[in-house]
Chain A
């Protein structure tokens, strides 16, 4: 008789999801599924709107990475106008993209994942959170808040509004930057850099503590996908797509993001509203790939800032001969390398006088009826594709978000953790905590568009094949 263990919803990730673990007659794990139960429907919602509205609309999809949607939407708009944006505008867009990485990566590490690392997977769940962390090490948590504040401050200064800013537009950005504000942000850099390095040293210090757990945290070969610069450097705003396999072989390179649909398909499963993107040449589900920090740091040839590059070299040493780090636990490590890179690169941009230029916007009419934008959001490659009529009215919209692209890999991770930690027919705290921690490696953001009070309890059920609840617990 098959039994199903349900863990719903997962805490400390955005949106609503549940996990089911399917057991065979012998009580062994047959399968595990990461379900997303809310239909988003944003694409349909956008049809009939004007192309120029898309930045303001899509940046409200997500309260965590609105800037990534804003920038990618603006790039799709550039494509529809068929224009090159001014140098200053591109550099300002790059700066705000880095700010998004800083605040998002800081939140992921300091406030969501660190409680697991510092307090332990098996510590009391009532205190294994940011408040428990504060009691454990107030200065650690305070530094995380400050770093995140730095990222948000760049976004606020550039975009005027902290969230949902319609600052980036098709053709560039709305307003030039100011020297006084540049100086204010530059003053943050030493502290931000020190905090990013502190985070890295903290994380590397706990790897040994979790030596028993790490091999079970999504440790499998897969493809890795992301943007790289023309010379193969880590890229976050532009570039071409690279596909690398789990042995370090580059299987596709220099893919123009305009061609993404030729290389990547989206499968659907009846049990989840989240699609399952895959690499078409290998088919579904063999074409499973990972995006985000682990992918980006794996696929790039180098990082063009010195401190982050030195860390990348250390990171690569974890891979051994394959040159690819396949273990999803090391998303955290890669994320912090990117955090350090983002601070270093922000400093470079802030010291570049070109960002103070006043020519920040090119203007044109609708010149193409299809536009594609791609950039690297904190969680991975983000694509926006718009089809418009001659007046710029949207006829069709396709958004491929990073979390969806990791969907197959998250399912594989959950299955591996279930196999490794399920003991008997009960959902133990240890299993539950590790599955949640496994999902958090990817820092997924699912349907974070509603927040209204009164949602998100943690409910765990063990259900047998007849639909009976044989074990249940609330957190």
Chain B
């Protein structure tokens, strides 16, 4: 039996196909402007990977901010619950999740069964999200995928005082004009994100194993900044961007 999870995020759309609770195919593409179209396309692509059709899929759960538009889903579940289920399956001892997505970031506390106990979200404001890093990467003319490696070379992270993405962008430009190195600026940016995440973690309370998910979990510089700030080691799943879609597929297989 196949089960499909479709996670339509602000920046990327993800699909996870599972069989016997294990991931058998996944696809990640840019969300783009047409959510209905992208949800159909991503579903078709992930099924193509294993050579099956929609009729072979038992149940489908949609999640992410575009979940309402996935008209072929049997059920829609929030990304918070899906991340909790996905992470619990991948890292059984996880108690707290940090998810940094394109449009928002979240801190989620879960119990020993992967149920959500509490959560906080940073929305409205882009600071502390993947979009924030995209803006900064553009301002510094650095490919976003290189931010992590560059920041690890910084030895004196700059202080980023702005709490707004737009102002932080101009602050970065000012820091460049002052002759600060890109390495220290990027390290400073990561530090400022880590500080925001710590504030969110303070609201849900964190204990035990902390798992980082979302596209930015590939950014080693940010991981280090978070680990330094939280004084703990973070666990990163193999496919950190996929935990929401994977969790959605698990929910599809369990109770849909």
Task: Judge: A and B partners, yes or no.
Answer: no
**A residues lining the B interface (CB < 8 Å):** none
Chain B interface residues (CB < 8 Å from chain A): none
